[in-house]
Copies of this chain bind each other. A is one copy, B any other.
Amino acid sequence: MTAKYLQIAADLTNKIKHGQYKAGELLPSEPVLSELYGVSRETTRKALAELMSAGLIQKLRGKGSVVLDRARFAFPVSNIETFDELNKQEQMHATTEILQFNDTKMPSSITNQLDITEPAATFVERLRSINHEPIVIDQDYILKKYVPHLTIEQAQKSLYSYFERDLGLEIDYATKTITVEPADKKVIQSLQLEDTNLVVVVRSLTYLKDTSFFQYTVSLHRPDKFKFVDFARRKAQHGRIIL
């Protein structure tokens, strides 16, 4: 049973998504929503806090909660985090080619910093293409401790749905860095780079709900196909540019 406030948040999100509450309009006030859903005001406020942190509404003291216009930008790609989900939702001919698949250890650049007791890992390198254009190379190091029996078939599909649905792993948070770096010849060839030797490198350290580190990913993006979108509130700081 999921919590009431999450159900309410999901319901409100849907209603915004489908235009029942339009950008620029005010949502019903907290007491009204509370009456509507049959919950206390605090529960309603928790639901609204979810929409707030997702950038869907802005709460204005003394006035109400406005629906933000960001919906226009955010929704078409919302909740798409993996290549596989993208493939299903959009009408695109997306393919995944496995370049490498073997046992290895977590790179020392990671184990140096995180004191990992069992560095045994599976390495998967995949080339992702859309409409026969290579877009990105994903290099994944997945700790054997949490995913002992990864097969090449699962890597062909979606790793995340295997982790979460089949294995029940609860992926919770990640730290990411984005840089631009020169690529080696193999990468240049795989991504069919022509005018440049630079690629966008996204490095992700992914953690489970219980704070255990379990996956390191290096994504090499073709610079002309890369776009990163961020919504950031001033105080609770997320993305940050370091000079």
In the complex, identify which listed stretch (A29-37, A151-159, A235-243) lies at the interface while the others stay far away: A235-243
Expressed in whole angstroms, the minimum distance between the Cβ of A141 and any Cβ of chain B is 18
Q: Which residues of B contact A79 (CB under 8 A)?
A: 237
A117 at interface, CB cutoff 8 A: no
Interface residues on A, range: 35 or more
B69 touches A114 (CB 8 A): yes
| Interface-centre pick from A72, A178, A227, A228 (highest chain B CB count, 10 A) | A228
What residue in chain B is nearest A80 (Cβ atoms)? B240
* Cβ-neighbour of A228 out of B70, B211, B225, B239 (below 8 A): B239
A180 touches B240 (CB 8 A): no
Q: Which 5 A-B pairs have the closest CB atoms?
A: A180-B223, A178-B228, A176-B230, A230-B239, A227-B242
A176-B229, A178-B178 given. 20 additional CB < 8 A pairs? A53-B53, A58-B173, A60-B209, A60-B211, A83-B243, A86-B243, A130-B243, A172-B234, A176-B232, A176-B239, A177-B228, A177-B230, A178-B226, A178-B230, A180-B180, A196-B197, A198-B198, A228-B228, A228-B239, A232-B238
